[in-house]
Amino acid sequence: MNLATEPDADGVDAIYRMGFTVGDHSARHMRRILRMFLVRWGLDALTDAAELALTELVSNVVRHVPDRGCVVLILRQPQGLRVEVSDGCPAPPRPAPDSGELDAGGRGLLLVEAVTDRWGTDPDLTGKTVWFECDVPR
């Protein structure tokens, strides 16, 4: 399902929402979609941070959600961008407590925190939504 609001004053949709069953290569396709919207919205400066954060959230779905199903929301906001990844797994995301320097994983949420302005998780009746926001640099 691909739902979009009415086009904004610039004729570019301010929201994109799509349901996916993700796999090992899904993040690449989602980055392309995200980049397209950022360019259209004139938010190119957010591309690197937003792509990295989205990749980490999608990777968490691949690793930790049994059915690998999620809904991705990309939302233009007055101050920048909000991205949400919702899934049907109620377990909250947590940084791996014992990630050593040589461990292959466990740093994804630390990266999200480092490259975004805000991030968080909101539980709901069927799972959770993990989100981040990136503000336009001034």
The C-alpha atoms of residue 36 and residue 28 are separated, in whole angstroms, by 13
112 exposed, middle or buried (CB, 10 Å; 0-12, 13-18, 19+)?
A: buried
pLDDT at 99: 53
pLDDT at 2: 41
Which residues in 32-110 belong to E strands, given as ranges?
69-77, 80-87
Given a cut of 50, whether residue 3 has pLDDT beyond it is no
Given a cut of 90, whether residue 19 has pLDDT beyond it is yes
User: CA 111, 46, 15: angle at the middle one, nearest 5?
Assistant: 105
Q: How confident is the model at residue 11 (pLDDT cuts 50, 70, 90)?
A: low
For residues 38-42, average pLDDT: 96
111 exposed, middle or buried (CB, 10 Å; 0-12, 13-18, 19+)?
A: middle
